[in-house]
Amino acid sequence: MTQNSIPRPEYPRPQFVRENWLNLNGAWQFEIDAGDSGIHRGLKDKKLSGEILVPFCPESKLSGVEYVDFMPAVWYRREVKIPAAWKKYPRLRLHFQACDYETTVWVNGSEVARHRGGFTPFFAEIGHLVKPGGKAQIVVRARDDNRIAKASGKQSNSYGNAGCHYTRTTGIWQTVWLEPLPETAMERPRITPELGNLRFHVEIPLSGPTAGKRVTAILKDSKGEIVRTEVAADSDFSAMLDLPIPEKRLKLWGPGKPNLYDIIFELRDSEGNLVDSLTSYAGMRSIVIDGFAVKINGVSVFQRQVLDQGYYPDGLMTAPTDAALVKDIKLALDAGFNSARLHEKVFEERFLYHADRLGYPVWAEFADWGVRHRHEFSNPVEHQPMASLMAQWQEALIRDYSHPSIIGWCPLNETAHNIGDAPEAMDDLTHGLYYATKACDRTRPVIDASGYSHRVTGADIYDSHHYEQNVEKFRADHAGLAEGKPFINSYGEGNIWNIPYGGQPYFCSEFGGIWWSPEAKKDEDSWGYGIRPKTLEEFYARFEGLCGVLLENPRMFGYCYTQLTDVFQEQNGIYTFDRRKKFDMKRIRAAQTRKAAIE
């Protein structure tokens, strides 16, 4: 298989790039382990019975398998020849961008990695087992029974799709790849824009012996080098440096303004020899809460968000091509949205890269649904799904911290504190995730839980989910915000799920979801919120009216319309599932681009 024929051939980690790497996507041996007995049956050491096209999950059409029943475990096998040209490198890393859910990896018969969680990357050091020019026999087992309690996002825990739960994703669903490393190597840079100080603050962790090593960072724009800074790599736990920007070279990143700076990092030894190098980029922007407004670069920008679930008819959670990721952003912009809420999924990093370079702000969210599910097969005490969620969210924060397009974090969605027999555990998890996020990142706002159970006093943001379809009722429900009495999700039980609103910025982070599916054969084939409009004109009137209520509210800093595309049976998108237009985009855009009261 040539590099050109490899599916998803692009570099998977665009903000942390090394020159040498090998994409392992393509044909792998594959076998479904229906009884999760593969270890006992010796599958680790056997040729597997089938084949799959990685990185597409076996449920997807693009994988060539398209098996949609439960798969408690699946196995992969592939032999890889390590490039002989890498002989100068003593270390070798095998990367998995995402594999759902509990993964074990063997190389040449030795276990090299275990990882729990379906949405975040992990790697294994394998240089001690195979050398450049040699062969690596890679075997992967992924265990993923969706009938146990665990973070799985919108993946269905029933046989078929239902409501807002969709076809499952099992096993590998993002790029698998190799990279060689020197004995001492730089790890992912943590880049913080400091607009007030006109500089980027950078932390660069290192692995391997650091004595005598130095790190140089070079900041560049389209005109060339701006500044370079060098620091000792062995005086702190991470190499820390600042990259100041002269005011005349300052270009801000913001909505529709995708100004990015390139950064080159070099690691040298005590004699000045180049040991390691990588390239990255950064965007200079600030996010500030000012009263009821959330300001970007000091300007109040009404966040016209669209709910994006990142599903595709042929690839499920995996975009069929890199171009498909770009297309989704452009579809949203064409419809008049200026930002997005990335919903119940940790999007692949290349989506964030394209959001960075297109000036498209996003709120990043975790796929927490499934943690609180209680099934006859569940054993939440043994599985500890909440602890696993905490670990996975930290991995997501580390991966995505430096992307300028991320303007807010949301670890939980639609939580409830009256489900199950241990509501205190959910309360503890909400607080733990919120404060862990704040400890990791003091530069962005954090919401404790989107919709439903707000539990953290003084959380940065307060929100609601509100799918009322009657425009005047919707207006009345949100009129109280002007007096500090916003609409709060309580669902007829009083305000038992939420702490009181504290006067912080507020937005309606889910609304609309207007059901429009003229191609559906009957109502059972699709659903949306409220009664389906009888005509297109009725749809436009409802859409314009609902958007107008929120745009006109002087204390509303934004909204998030449900949703960008239809997803299987949930047919309330602005576009169809295969990304065809459903409406006159000029009208959709015009309804949203009116000046908001808070701007």
Q: What is the pLDDT of residue 495?
A: 63
Mean pLDDT on 528-536 = 94
Dump the DSSP string for 160-195.
S-BTTBB----EE-S-EEEEEE-SSEE---EEEEEG
How is 541-599 classified by DSSP, letter by letter? HHHHHHHHHHHT-TTEEEEEEE-SB-BTTB---SB-TT--B-S-HHHHHHHH-SPPTT-
Report pLDDT for 453.
87
Residue 373: what pLDDT?
55
Sheet holding 73-81, edge to edge: 50-54, 26-32, 73-81, 135-143, 102-107, 110-116
Residue 381: per-residue pLDDT:
46
Q: How far apart are the first and last CA of the chain?
A: 53
Question: Residue written as tokens 């991966």?
Answer: 399
pTM above 0.75, yes or no: yes
d(CA 173, CA 118): 9
pLDDT at site 327: 98
Q: Measured between alpha carbons, how far is 87 from 84 in angstroms, rounded to an integer?
A: 6
Q: Does residue 55 have a cis bond before it (omega within 30 degrees)?
A: yes
Q: Is 261 helix (H, G, I), strand (E, B) or coil?
A: strand
pLDDT score, position 418: 55
Please tell me the predicted confidence (pLDDT) of residue 417: 63
Alpha-carbon distances, residue 134 vs 137, 237, 327 (angstroms): 10, 35, 40
Are 152 and 103 in contact, with CB atoms under 8 Å apart? no
Q: What percent of the chain has pLDDT over 70?
A: 95
The Cα 73–Cα 143 span in angstroms is 4
Which is nearest to 336 in space by CA: 366, 310, 316, 360?
360
Q: How far is CA 507 from the centre of its chain?
A: 21
Mean pLDDT (the chain) is 94
The residue whose two tokens read 């709910």 is 307
For 228-248, what is each residue's pLDDT tens digit? 999 999 988 999 999 999 999
Q: What's the mean pLDDT in 382-399?
A: 85
Q: How far is CA 307 from CA 164, 345, 401, 417, 582, in A?
A: 13, 11, 21, 24, 17
Instruction: Give the model's pLDDT for residue 550.
Output: 98
Band (pLDDT 50/70/90 cuts) for residue 422 is low
Quick: pLDDT tens for 279-303. 999 999 999 999 999 999 999 999 9
Determine the average pLDDT of the residues in 146-162.
Answer: 90
In DSSP terms, which residues pair with 95 in a beta bridge?
123, 177
Given a cut of 50, whether residue 380 has pLDDT beyond it is no
- For 585, the token pair is 């985009």
Nearest by Cα to 154 from 195, 119, 112, 125: 119
State the average pLDDT over residues 424-445: 92
Instruction: Give the three-class secondary structure for 81.
Output: strand
Q: According to the model, what pLDDT value does residue 492 have? A: 56
| The predicted structure's pLDDT at residue 415 | 86
Continuous H helices in 299-346: 322-334
CA–CA distance, 254 with 407 (Å, rounded to integer): 10
Structure tokens at 476: 């009345």
Please check whether residue 258 is in contact with residue 356, taking contact to mean a CB–CB distance below 8 angstroms. Answer: yes
Q: Are 389 and 368 in contact (CB under 8 A)?
A: yes
Q: What region does 470 belong to: left with phi over 0, alpha with psi -120 to 50, or beta?
A: beta
* pLDDT at residue 427, rounded to an integer: 86
How far, in Å, CA of 83 to CA of 130, rounded?
Answer: 11
Do the beta carbons of residue 129 and residue 110 sit within 8 Å?
A: yes
Buried b (16+ CB within 10 A) or exposed e, 302-337: bbbbbbbbbbbbebbbbbbebeebbebbebbbebbb
* Mean pLDDT confidence for 392-408: 97
Q: How confident is the model at residue 416 (pLDDT cuts 50, 70, 90)?
A: confident
| DSSP letter, residue 446 | B
298-to-252, 288, 289, 290, 292 alpha-carbon distances in Å: 11, 7, 9, 9, 13
Indicate whether 572 pLDDT > 90: yes
**Nearest one of 286, 291, 331, 289 to 308, comparing CA atoms:** 331
- By percentage, how much of the chain surpasses pLDDT 90? 88
Main-chain phi, psi angles of 431, to 5 degrees: -65, -45
Distance in angstroms (rounded) separating the CA atoms of residues 262 and 327: 24
**More reliable by pLDDT, 73 or 381:** 73
- CA–CA distances in Å: residue 431 to residues 46, 366, 502, 539: 47, 15, 16, 40
Please, are residues 243 and 200 in contact by the beta-carbon 8 Å criterion? yes
Per-residue pLDDT reduced to its tens digit, 121-151: 999 999 999 999 999 999 999 999 888 888 9
**Structural domains of the chain ordered from first start:** 3-180 (2.60.120.260), 185-282 (2.60.40.10), 287-512+557-565 (3.20.20.80)
Residue 264 sits at the vertex; the CA angle it makes with 260 and 270, to the nearest 5 degrees, is: 160
The answer on pLDDT for 407 being more than 70 is: yes
Q: Are 10 and 55 in contact (CB under 8 A)?
A: no
> Ramachandran region of residue 66, left (φ > 0), alpha (ψ -120 to 50) or beta?
left
Residue 409 pLDDT exceeds 90: yes
Instruction: Look at residue 2 and tell me whether its pLDDT is greater than 90.
Output: no
pLDDT average, residue stretch 417-432: 73
Structure tokens at 249: 């070279």
* Contact between 509 and 560 (Cβ < 8 Å): yes
Q: 50-54 and 91-96 as β-strands: parallel, antiparallel, unpaired?
A: unpaired
Question: Residue 383: is its pLDDT beyond 80?
Answer: no
> Which residues, 6 or more positions from 573, have their beta carbon under 8 angstroms from its beta carbon?
563, 564, 565, 566, 567, 582
With the C-alpha atoms ordered 303, 307, 309, 314, is the resulting torsion angle positive or negative?
negative
Amino acid identity of residue 31, one-letter, is: E
pLDDT tens column, 477-508: 999 999 999 999 986 555 667 889 999 999 99
State the DSSP H helix or E strand holding residue 462, giving kind and residue range, or none if neither: strand 462-466
388 pLDDT band, cuts 50/70/90, is confident
H-helix segments, 308-364: 322-334, 349-358
Token match 């911290």: residue?
A: 401
Show the tokens assigned to 394: 């930290």
pLDDT reading at 452 higher than 90: no
Lowest pLDDT segment from 36-40, 443-447, 449-453:
449-453
